[in-house]
Amino acid sequence: MNLSFDDTEVAFAHKSKADLKKAYSLFQAFSYPALVKYGPSMANFALSLGLPIKGLIKSTIFHQFCGGETIEGSNPSALELYENGIGAILDFSVEGEGSSASYEATFKELSKVIVEAANKPEYPFAVFKCSGIGEFSVLEKASTGESLSNDENEQLQLFKKRVGALCKLASENNVKLLVDSEESWIQEAVDEVTYENIELYNQEKAVVYN
């Protein structure tokens, strides 16, 4: 199915009028700079107070921009899009929280994403951000050529090991894996490890993309 987003009648045929009206109202709200600037902090503050706004967030912003909270919860949205000629990417949109435990947890979830995408045409790619599985400050120092301490070097090697494991898993499961872009000041380190895995796994067909 050839899909053109210039033809909105076709591109959004799977959306109800109620969904389109809700989306239009939401994007209209984004035209107010004050709301965009202060809205997220106000929402976080309200949530910290225990105010019952979670349902409102899920029915508006979350509904518009997120497929689900889990892999399983995202599948119906992906299938609906695929039936209308649109591929989906399972994007685990959580970046590292600055601890080894969080990086390892993210790595394990990304591994599940790659396995889930295998042999499913509705998921043309799996994707991940390197900042979710490696210490940002270490990637920044590696990008600028600064010398690393023994501990930082160990963290860098562990990061590279995680990236390599994800690329290997993608190759084994015949999944195209997209390494997402990062902030410019860590991109050099990200590119380096990406190119290493491209050279390793893209011998017969393209597996790793950047």
Segment 152-186, tens digit of pLDDT? 999 999 999 999 999 999 999 999 999 999 999 99
Beta carbons within 8 Å of 1's beta carbon, 6+ residues apart: 84, 85
| Phi, psi angles (nearest 5°) of residue 128 | -155, 160
To the nearest whole number, what is the mean pLDDT of the chain?
A: 90
CB 126 within 8 A of CB 90: yes
Can you give the pLDDT at residue 4?
A: 72
pLDDT winner (highest mean) among 43-57, 58-72, 97-111, 140-154 = 140-154
To the question of pTM greater than 0.75 for the whole model, the response is yes
Can you give the pLDDT at residue 58?
A: 84
